[in-house]
Structure 1
Amino acid sequence: MRNKKSAATLIRLLEQARYEVLPTAATEDKVLEHLPRDRVVTVTASPSKGLAATLDLAERLTGHGYVTVPHLAARMVTGRSELEEIADRLVGKGISRVFVPGGDAEPAGDYPDALALLQDLRDLGSPFSHVGITGYPESHPTIHDDLTVQSMWDKRHYATHIVSNLTFDPALVRDWIRRLRNRGVTMPLLLGLPGPVERAKLLGMATRIGVGESTKFLAKNKGLFARLAAPGGFTGESFLEKCAPALGEDGALVEGLHVFTFNQIGETEAWRTDLLARLRRT
Structure 2
Amino acid sequence: MDHVTSVHQQQGVIQLPCLPYTLEITGKAIGEIVAAQQVIPQGTAINIAFLGNENHAQRIHAAKTIRDCGFEPVPIISSRRLLSVEDRDQLLSNLIKEAAPKRFLLVGGDPAQPAGPFQDSLSLLNSKIVESFGIRHVAITGYPEGHPKIDQKELWRCLKWKLDYLRQAECSVEITTQFGFDAQAIVRWIERLRSEGIDTPVRVGIPGPADAAKLLRFAKQFGVVASASIMRRYGLSLANLMRRSVADRYWEDLNALLLKQDLGQVYFHLYPFGGVAESVTWMNEQLRQRSS
Q: Amino acid of the residue matched to residue 286 of structure 2?
A: L
Match of 2:81 in 1: 76
In structure 1, list runs of 5 or more residues that go unmatched: 1-8
Match of 1:162 among 152, 170, 175: 175
TM-score of the two chains, using structure 2 as the length reference: 0.80
Q: Is the 8 A contact 2:95 2:101 kept in 1?
A: yes
Match of 1:147 among 144, 149, 154: 154
User: How far apart are 1:127 and its partner, in Å?
Assistant: 2.1
Q: Which has the higher helix share?
A: 1
Q: Is the 8 A contact 1:21 1:263 kept in 2?
A: no
Q: Is the 8 A contact 1:96 1:127 kept in 2?
A: no
Aligned residue pairs total: 268
In structure 2, list runs of 5 or more residues that go unmatched: 5-17
Matched residues in 2 for 1:104 and 1:68: separation?
Answer: 22
Matched residues in 2 for 1:154 and 1:11: separation?
Answer: 28
Match of 1:23 among 15, 24, 27: 27
Q: Amino acid of the residue matched to residue 245 of structure 1?
A: L
- What secondary structure does 1:69 align onto? strand
User: How far apart are 1:245 and its partner, in Å?
Assistant: 2.7
Superimposed CA distance per residue, residues 91-118 of structure 1 (whole angstroms, 9 cap, x where no aligned partner): 2232121111111123110011111112
Match of 2:101 in 1: 95
Q: How does 1:1-282 map to 2 (within 5 A)?
A: 9=1, 16-25=20-29, 26-32=31-37, 34-93=39-98, 94-105=100-111, 106-122=113-129, 124-125=131-132, 127-156=134-163, 157-158=165-166, 160-212=173-225, 214-221=226-233, 229-231=242-244, 233-235=246-248, 236-245=250-259, 249=262, 252-262=263-273, 264-281=275-292
Matched residues in 1 for 2:22 and 2:72: separation?
Answer: 10
Question: Which protein, 1 or 2, shows the higher relative CO under an 8 Å CA cutoff with sep ≥ 6?
Answer: 1
Matched residues in 1 for 2:180 and 2:282: separation?
Answer: 19
Matched residues in 1 for 2:49 and 2:279: separation?
Answer: 17
Change (3 A) 1:207 1:217: farther
- What secondary structure does 1:266 align onto? helix
Q: Is the 8 A contact 2:209 2:244 kept in 1?
A: no
Change (3 A) 1:260 1:231: closer
RMSD between aligned residues: 2.8
Matched residues in 2 for 1:162 and 1:176: separation?
Answer: 12
Q: Is the 8 A contact 1:34 1:265 kept in 2?
A: no
Change (3 A) 1:186 1:119: farther
